[in-house]
Chains A and B, each alone.
Chain A
Amino acid sequence: MKRAGAAAILLLGALLLLPWGGPSTAEAGHLRIALSVRPTSFEPLHAIYTVNQARFRQVYETLVEPDYRSSELRFRGLLAESWEASEDLRTWTFHLRPDARFHDPGEPPLWPGGSRPVTAADAAWCFLRLADASISSVSWFALEDLIEGLDAFHDATREGRRPGVRDLPFGDPGLQVPGLEVLDEQTLRIHLVRGGGDLLPRLASAFCVLYPWEAVARGDLKAVPVGSGPFQLELPGSSEVARFRRTPGWRGQEDLGETLPRIERLTLTWVAEGATRTGLFETGRLDRLVLEPDSLHRFLDGEVLHPRWQEKGYRLQSSPWPSTSMFLFNLADPVLGEFPGDPEGNRRRRALREAVARAFPYGRWQSIVRLGSMAVPARSFLPPVLPEARGAPAAPWRSRDLGEVARLLEEAGYPGGEGLPVLHIDLGSQGSLARRSAEVLRQGFREAGIPVEVRLHDFQGQQERIARGEAQIFDRGWHFDWADASNLLATFTGGQAFGGSNRANFVDAEYDRLFAEYLRRPPGPARTRLAHRMLEILHERIPGIPVDHSRVWFVLSPRVQGVAPHAFDPYAFKYYRLQAPAAAAGE
């Protein structure tokens, strides 16, 4: 028995001594990134799941892309070589690159040689497919109310009055809509229903990627992506691991005098546990780590990288995320809302909303819920990454002032809080963060003399409560789908109230007029002024309280050189540069 035990221990010891772990075995030019959420598929219509975009961006391309060198959120051509717009921004003509090709990794390939040119007809077909309700396209909102005839096409396919793109062959005249005009192989003209100041940001979003119809017809696009991008999936892929290699024969892209992509291979691995991601990064098996609450203090010393990581050559990057966390008031609520024909009541209820805004425990929220550095406190509804946020008016009530709260409660008809009913705050999550948030809110409002009850729901339950009009004050996180302020400002328009994305049910005719004008304008000072005027209206009427904007912290391994994360294109790994193996010997 003793001998058997000793033998077993010796065997285990010998196994452990074998070089299973050891130093990282990163190949030159091989970038390794972990995803915290499991991707669902390569189907371009599933771009609504942000995690899919990380994989899409390697394979699929859009007509234009955000120019990471511009702080003004400009766009540069990707599949489009150039474009021009009419003066009223209603007609846009895109000239596609003649050297752009779709590359098929499948075996046998769709075309002889495995590739074929990207044409203007492909772009028109993909946009039609995005609008095809018969295939339950969940990404349709990206082109909604924008292109002539596309909404009618969408409605017709929803009601079964017209075949969708899956039912008729590519290029069928029955599939054309007036707003998508294919002038020749390389030229697409888009006619809009209004001025399209937001067209380029929408076309640069992952919803508007291009892919060939043959890949859809083959029926395996979910697993075998066929795009025109710099990388190609190595088959077979899985939802856990996607290995990409540089697309053979890719046309290349010039950047700072070099040709993209700068890496040869890329592996995106789904790693469910944060502790495991941290462990993989620390042992040199990942090249980039996104810091999370659990790992934040392991790497950060205040807002700089801890010296022991700096000494090893690791680097820290921080990127403001295009998102806004806010608390909205339901303006159809009898205690807090606004109602036509009752100016006095509306004035008192507005005072109550302002009292809530001034009683909000901003400081504690930032230090306890956001751990001091996971978000940037909001000045207005627009995140600082948007050009319109610069010089934007700050919400005057967005600081805690308990004296002012007492005055406002009196103005609202509740002197000293007397007679004020318990206000209900609904949070749309139930995890530990939500419980922490709830405690901060309860304590903060109690100190301000405002009785609140904080209720936690799952996300779906929260959405249903809001839709039924049962929520009074509720949290809302808005992640920008594309790089334009209109993406969030639209959620306060009257047309979206009572059932649409305007969950606060805020209605203001002047705001709606300014928003319509805003959409028609090209980017520039006049457009920015309109955004600022809309923000002033929101600050005056207080449909909600902007709390903060997420901030993402990346730690980069010493191998990774010269990367500036773009808030609206964080997955553009083609820009990454990896140090030569000799220089990275310390790893």
Chain B
Amino acid sequence: MNVALALRILRRLLLLLAGVLLLLHAIFDSGALGDPARRSLGEHATPASLGEWRLQMGWYAAFEPRAARLRLQGGDRLLRLGGQDGSLVLEAVAPEASGPRLAAWSREELQTRELGSWLRDLQAALPEGSGGLQAEARRPELPAAGVLDALSEVPLVLDPRRPAQDLPWAESVSSWRRALRQSWALLRFDLGTSLRSGRPVAAEIGERLGPTLALGLPAFLATSLLALLLGTWSLLRPGGPADRALGLVSAAGLSLSAVTVALLLQRLLGVRWNLLPVHGWEEPRLGSLLLPWISWLAIALGPEFRLARGLLARAWQEPSILAARARGAGRGRTFLRHALPLAAAPLLARLFLGLPFVFLGSLLLESLFGIPGLGAWAVQAVQDGDHAALRSLVFLFTLVWILCQTLADLLGARLDPRVRQALEAGRAS
């Protein structure tokens, strides 16, 4: 492969990736399609929960102690929490002028202090008649790793008169900065935390990718291979009983819905004849996978067979093939030496186009046969408005798709000079 072609493919990859990252930002984070926090949490979400959502999704920057203020309930004074020279200082501030310093802690002190007791100390240090402290401290099990982390867990002001200002202690982050930050996180495969389960998205995807691939990959490859074999068989005996029978069966398969086929197989093989497990992800895994594999095959083989046969038939009609046959070359030899290489590029393109969808999982088969894969998980993420999960899924799917497309192009270019020429001219898809 020449350098120009490699550069062309690389450029296309980078453009695609940048486009996807921008699109992800536009869909999930820009707010152009409405407030995603409200969409995710519902109309009745409290300001605090909206604020937490935005914090988690990177809409708000982490707390910086330079500007936080504690409000004294019922009093006319404010407290200011200042940070300088490694110390944190609490001051009572009259509206018009600075007041007395109430307490100061070193960072080390604060680090080792239980947040609950820190707040109680703070409460005790308040001026007489101030009426109490409006402060919340989550996670009483702190101390956290550092002062800033600890303080980032303290929503210092939740002023009831400003309910819409969900987390006033945090600073909002501009849209472009969010886009950069989140894109960078995705590129480092830092997929964030699932809003639904509170677990890292990467861990959840990791757990579910195995069952999804165990179901999809063998079934997909077997379907593709079988379709190719049957397509060849049918093509080499045109109009014969096998060709007619295969055409009839594939037409029947195409006209039946996938749900019907899967339910029918489940009923027959699982319930009536009791040959295979009906549902579940139990040991031995092979037993749990056989019925889903057979169902996949039964659902996908019809369309795949017709496609493979069509592509092979087109290659079979090429003038070079007709010329080879006219010179007396045997049918099988002509097919293997000449027709198959001609059809290889579109067949591979089809294979690599379908492969990324295997990674997304099959909602139908996973739900029906109880396989804890990504398909049902993705649907649940949509229902729950779990943006972190959805964004990660779309990103990973895109990566796999780009990878597969590139592989398809490279292999196609190697096998078929026409594809290579198209790529070099920048015309390929």
- Chain A interface residues (CB < 8 Å from chain B): 1, 4, 15-18, 20-23, 38, 40-41, 133-134, 136, 158-161, 163-164, 166-169, 172, 217-219, 222-223, 238-241, 269-273, 275-276, 278-280, 282-283, 285
Min CB distance B28 to A, Å, is 22
A67 to chain B, nearest CB (A): 36
On whether A172 and B279 interact (CB within 8 A), knowing A163-B135, A164-B136, the answer reads: no
Contacts of B266 in A (CB 8 A): 275-276, 279
Once A222-B198, A273-B368, A279-B279 are accepted as A-B contacts, the answer to whether A166 and B138 lie under 8 Å apart by CB is: yes
Contact B277 A21 (CB under 8 A): yes
| Interface contacts beyond A16-B290, A21-B269, A136-B49: sample of 6 additional A-B pairs, CB < 8 Å, sorted by A | A38-B380, A136-B45, A159-B160, A163-B137, A168-B137, A285-B279
For residue B253, CB closer than 8 A to chain A, the reply is no
Closest to A4 in B: B229
Nearest chain A CB to B344 CB, angstrom units: 19
Q: Which of B73, B114, B140 contacts A161 (CB 8 A)?
A: B73
Which partner residue on chain B sits nearest A8 by CB separation?
A: B226
Nearest chain B residue, comparing its CB with the CB of A164: B136
- A15 vs B289: C-alpha distance in the bound complex, in angstroms? 11
Chain A nearest Cβ from B178, distance in angstroms: 24
B197 within 8 A of A: yes
A272 touches B367 (CB 8 A): yes
Partner of A166, one of B140, B263, B380: B140
Main secondary structure of the interface of B (DSSP, over half): loop
Q: Is the CB of B270 within 8 A of A16?
A: no
Chain B residues, Cβ within 8 Å of A275: 263, 266-267
- B132 proximity list for chain A (CB < 8 A): 161
Residue B116 lies at the interface, judged by CB distance under 8 Å to chain A: yes
Q: How far is the CA of A368 from the CA of B14 in the complex (A)?
A: 59
Q: Does B158 interact with chain A (Cβ within 8 Å)?
A: yes
Alpha-carbon distance between A278 and B267 when the two chains are bound, in angstroms: 10
Q: Please state if B46 and A240 are interface contacts (CB–CB under 8 Å).
A: no
Query: Which 3 A-B pairs have CB atoms at the shortest separation, nearest pair first?
Result: A160-B158, A20-B287, A159-B160
- Alpha-carbon distance between A275 and B266 when the two chains are bound, in angstroms: 9
Interface string of B192-223 (1 = CB under 8 A from A): 00001111000000000000000000000000
For this complex, 26 residue pairs linking A to B, each with C-beta atoms less than 8 Å apart, are A16-B275, A17-B275, A20-B286, A21-B275, A21-B276, A38-B376, A134-B46, A136-B45, A160-B136, A160-B159, A163-B135, A163-B136, A163-B137, A167-B138, A172-B116, A218-B141, A222-B198, A223-B197, A223-B199, A239-B380, A241-B280, A269-B279, A280-B279, A283-B278, A285-B278, A285-B280
Q: Are A279 and B138 in contact (CB under 8 A)?
A: no
- Which residues of B does A touch, CB under 8 Å? 45-46, 48-49, 73, 114, 116, 119, 132, 134-141, 158-160, 196-199, 229, 233, 263, 266-267, 269-271, 273-281, 286-287, 290, 367-370, 372, 376, 380
> Once the chains are docked, how many angstroms separate the CA of A510 from the CA of B274?
63
State in angstroms the CA–CA spacing of A136 and B46 once bound together: 7
Q: Which residues of A contact B46 (CB under 8 A)?
A: 133-134, 136, 158
Given A15-B290, A21-B275, the answer on whether A134 and B367 have CB atoms closer than 8 Å is no
Q: Which of B116, B269, B367, B380 contacts A169 (CB 8 A)?
A: B116
**Distance of A38 Cα from B197 Cα, bound (Å):** 13
The main secondary structure of chain A at its interface with chain B is loop
Q: Are B134 and A161 in contact (CB under 8 A)?
A: yes
Closest to A24 in B: B274
Question: Measured between C-beta atoms, what is the minimum distance from B378 to chain A in Å?
Answer: 13
Q: Are A273 and B271 in contact (CB under 8 A)?
A: no
B372 to nearest A CB, angstroms? 5
Residues of B within 8 A of A163 (CB): 119, 135-137
> Does A168 contact B140, Cβ atoms closer than 8 Å?
yes
Q: In the bound complex, how far is the Cα of B204 from the Cα of A222, in angstroms? A: 15
Chain A proximity of B363: nearest CB distance (Å): 10
- State A161–B229 Cα separation when bound (angstroms): 73
* Cross-chain contact B280 with A269 (CB below 8 angstroms): yes
**Most B-side CB within 10 Å, residue of A23, A273, A280:** A273
Q: Given A16-B269, A20-B290, A163-B135: A276 and B140 within 8 A (CB)?
A: no
CA distance A269 to B280 in the complex (A): 9
**Quick check: B140 and A167 within 8 Å, CB to CB?**
yes
Q: Are A272 and B271 in contact (CB under 8 A)?
A: no
A160 touches B160 (CB 8 A): yes
* A20 close to B277 (CB less than 8 A): yes
Selected from A22, A159, A271, the residue in CB contact (under 8 A) with B279 is A271
Report the minimum CB–CB distance from A44 to chain B (whole Å). 15
- A283 near B270 with CB under 8 A, answer yes
Cα distance A167–B49 when bound, in Å?
15
List the B side residues contacting A17 at CB < 8 Å.
275
**Do the beta carbons of B274 and A217 come within 8 Å of each other?**
no
Measured in the bound complex, the distance between the Cα atoms of B139 and A365 in whole Å is 53
Whether B233 contacts A1 by the Cβ 8 Å rule is yes
B136 and A279 form a contact (CB under 8 A): no
Instruction: Tell me which residues across on chain B come within 8 A of A167, comparing CB atoms.
Output: 116, 119, 136-138, 140
